[in-house]
């Protein structure tokens, strides 16, 4: 991407961006890279080649933060050897920890929260000119003044440069930022700010532009993507309506959306997905727990019975839909009986896949304030492993009927293993995805990257389908 833009800033820098966390962060990093490139900076692939090292961070679990703090610790000597190096911490941890980052890592120059990423280019210039350290964050949500808080979390949706994208045939498009659900364990509402939906016409213009540049698959992003609501044009546009509006864009072949909240999984949305052939019959809709008592403590706003009804509604409208979920094990007060009920929901749900997390207390959340983290780590670990094993069995059972069948995939490119051996033979191992987000690997030529084609499935495991070109 380096050199793609020439509208220069006076101080061109070599920037390395390291990203951890969710798809939102991956998208933010892509947008940051394009914008810094547009300002004349050069993007480099390793920290060693860089004079500006930016971490786009996550604070959903302690582990993600620990990783960043140890990476920052390792950079201390680089700063000593090359004092001109700029080190920046961006994203969720920047908003959450603010000054604490400078206390723990005084060699950090710049701290920028997710609601201030639009200013990053100017801030880098400022820091390069010696005005360090600089902290640029949004207001605390708890500070009371609702409008001032809202204004301080500025959605980061700069104009896309489709030609400068890492995967021209696939794109993520943010349709909303922030979250207003306040699940008791979750830091996201505090660090990403109030829920704000983007106007549908802007989303449509962005998707159209991406499709004009050869993008075949768009994934719409939101923390609770199915609570999307745009009333800016005097009409109420929900996610189902938005999918309808995007569906007819010429060149676009696939539309996906993540992450759904069970509360907003309406009959209208399910019907829209069933009626729009380009929309993937795939729902990532985290349940978090199978126990009503724990769901209440988590402030999730639904019961297990309602969640099961929702699964039945999806199954009824779209028999072959893939549903995936997230679960947290070891939430405060989770008994063996609560856990048993979660196991029951995993078995009943027959999810294509589930992400399973051990509860991690987050300072500033209700759960951390109200409940003791009383499930021992060892028990969390055991519950996590057992649930993973059960889910893997189910994932395998879901994949087995695909053996001998042809599935349609979008080819994403050489697998990680093949990337490590560039130019090794004419055929390489390629990776593609089905419309239901199943990963398929097969042998083919690199030129197939970005094509939608059929692959014959010969073998499966819990996570991957192995195929060949028919
Ligand atoms: N907005 C999405 C949702 O509501 O499902 C995803 C938010 S979060 C980035 C992704 C997942 O992390 C959640 O679904 C939850 O399972 C998990 N998570 C969030 N906070 C957590 C915590 N404090 N400890 C462990 N897991 C957590
Ligand atoms: Fe966090 Fe809940 Fe919002 Fe998802 S819906 S981001 S889990 S508060």
Best probe residue, ligand 2, of 224, 289, 326 (max atoms within 8 Å of C-beta): 224
Check if 287 has its Cβ closer than 6 Å to any atom of ligand 2. Answer: no
Best probe residue, ligand 2, of 186, 191, 259 (max atoms within 8 Å of C-beta): 186
Three-state SS at 468: strand
Q: How confident is the model at residue 451, as a pLDDT? A: 96
Check if 27 has its Cβ closer than 6 Å to any atom of ligand 2. Answer: no
Protein residue whose Cα sits closest to atom 1 of ligand 1:
223
Best probe residue, ligand 1, of 56, 357, 359, 380 (max atoms within 8 Å of C-beta): 357
* Rounded CA separation 135/124 (Å): 12
* Residue 301 alpha carbon to ligand 1 centre in Å: 15
* Residue 186 alpha carbon to ligand 1 centre in Å: 6
Protein residue whose Cα sits closest to atom 8 of ligand 1:
60
Instruction: Find, among 73, 74, 60, 67, the residue nearest to 114 by Cα.
Output: 60
Buried b (16+ CB within 10 A) or exposed e, 434-443: bbbbbebbbe
Protein residue whose Cα sits closest to atom 2 of ligand 2:
183
* Residue 73 alpha carbon to ligand 1 centre in Å: 27
* Residue 299 alpha carbon to ligand 2 centre in Å: 10
Best probe residue, ligand 1, of 262, 286, 329 (max atoms within 8 Å of C-beta): 286
Instruction: Find, among 252, 247, 248, 256, the residue nearest to 214 by Cα.
Output: 252
* Residue 21 alpha carbon to ligand 2 centre in Å: 14
Q: Is 342 left (phi over 0), alpha (psi -120 to 50) or beta?
A: alpha
Ligand nearest to the CA of 356: 1
Q: Tokens representing 450?
A: 């970005």
Ligand nearest to the CA of 259: 1
Instruction: Find, among 242, 166, 163, the residue nearest to 198 by Cα.
Output: 242
Q: How confident is the model at residue 238, as a pLDDT? A: 98
Instruction: Find, among 20, 44, 155, the residue nearest to 94 by Cα.
Output: 20
pLDDT tens across 218-270, in order?
999 999 999 999 999 899 999 999 999 999 999 999 999 999 999 999 999 99
Protein residue whose Cα sits closest to atom 5 of ligand 1:
286
* Residue 60 alpha carbon to ligand 1 centre in Å: 7
- Alpha helices (runs of H) in 50-187, residue ranges in sequence order: 62-74, 76-81, 92-97, 99-104, 120-128, 146-152
Three-state SS at 58: coil
Low-confidence residues of the chain: pLDDT under 70: 1-10, 422-425
Q: How confident is the model at residue 5, as a pLDDT? A: 36
Binding-site residues, ligand 1, Cβ < 6 A: 22, 60-61, 185-186, 188, 223-224, 259, 261, 286, 288, 326, 328, 357, 359-360, 362
Give the Å distances, CA to CA, from 243 to 23, 69, 206, 249, 257: 20, 40, 14, 10, 9
* Residue 358 alpha carbon to ligand 1 centre in Å: 10
* Rounded CA separation 348/157 (Å): 39
* Residue 367 alpha carbon to ligand 2 centre in Å: 13
Q: Is 41 within 8 Å of 9 (Cβ atoms)? A: yes
Protein residue whose Cα sits closest to atom 1 of ligand 2:
186
Check if 111 has its Cβ closer than 6 Å to any atom of ligand 2. Answer: no
Protein residue whose Cα sits closest to atom 2 of ligand 1:
223
């Amino acid at each position: 991407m380096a050199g793609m833009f020439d509208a220069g800033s006076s101080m061109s820098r070599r920037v390395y961006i390291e990203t951890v966390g969710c798809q939102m962060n991956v998208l933010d990093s892509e947008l940051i890279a394009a914008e810094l490139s547009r300002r004349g900076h050069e993007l480099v692939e390793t920290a060693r080649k860089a004079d500006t090292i930016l971490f786009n961070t996550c604070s959903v679990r302690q582990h993600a933060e620990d990783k960043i703090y140890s990476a920052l610790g390792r950079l201390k000597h680089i700063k000593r050897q090359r004092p001109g190096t700029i080190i920046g911490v961006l994203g969720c941890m920047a908003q959450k920890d603010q000054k604490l980052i400078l206390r723990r890592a005084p060699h950090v120059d710049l701290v920028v929260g997710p609601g201030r990423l639009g200013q990053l280019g100017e801030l880098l210039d400022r820091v390069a000119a010696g005005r360090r350290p600089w902290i640029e964050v949004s207001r605390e949500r708890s500070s009371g003044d609702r409008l001032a808080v809202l204004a301080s979390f500025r959605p980061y949706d700069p104009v896309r440069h489709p030609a400068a994208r890492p995967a021209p045939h696939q794109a993520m498009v943010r349709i909303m930022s922030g979250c207003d659900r306040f699940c008791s364990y979750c830091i996201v509402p505090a660090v990403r700010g109030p829920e704000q939906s983007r106007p549908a016409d802007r989303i449509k213009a962005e998707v159209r532009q991406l499709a004009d540049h050869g993008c075949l698959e768009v994934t719409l992003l939101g923390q609770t993507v199915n609570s999307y609501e745009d009333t800016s044009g005097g009409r109420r546009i929900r996610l189902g309506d938005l999918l309808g509006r995007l569906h007819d864009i010429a060149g676009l072949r696939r539309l996906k959306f993540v992450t759904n909240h069970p509360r907003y999984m309406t009959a209208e949305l399910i019907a829209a997905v069933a009626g729009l052939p380009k929309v993937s019959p795939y729902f990532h809709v985290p349940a978090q727990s199978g126990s009503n008592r724990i769901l209440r403590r988590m402030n999730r706003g639904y019961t297990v019975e309602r969640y099961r009804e929702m699964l039945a509604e999806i199954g009824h409208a779209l028999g072959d839909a893939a549903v995936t979920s997230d679960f947290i094990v070891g939430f405060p007060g989770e008994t063996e009986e609560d856990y048993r009920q979660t196991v029951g929901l995993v078995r009943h749900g027959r999810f294509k896949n589930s992400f399973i997390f051990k509860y991690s207390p987050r300072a500033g959340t209700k759960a951390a304030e109200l409940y003791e983290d009383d499930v021992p780590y060892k028990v969390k670990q055991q519950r996590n492993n057992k649930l993973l094993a059960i889910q893997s069995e189910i994932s395998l059972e879901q994949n087995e009927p695909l053996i001998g069948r042809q599935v349609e995939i979008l080819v994403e490119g050489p697998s990680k293993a093949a990337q490590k051996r560039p130019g090794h033979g004419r055929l390489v191992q390629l990776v593609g995805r089905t419309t239901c987000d199943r990963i398929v690997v097969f042998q083919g030529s690199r030129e197939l990257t970005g094509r939608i084609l059929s692959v014959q499935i010969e073998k499966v495991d819990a996570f991957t389908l192995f195929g060949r070109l028919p």
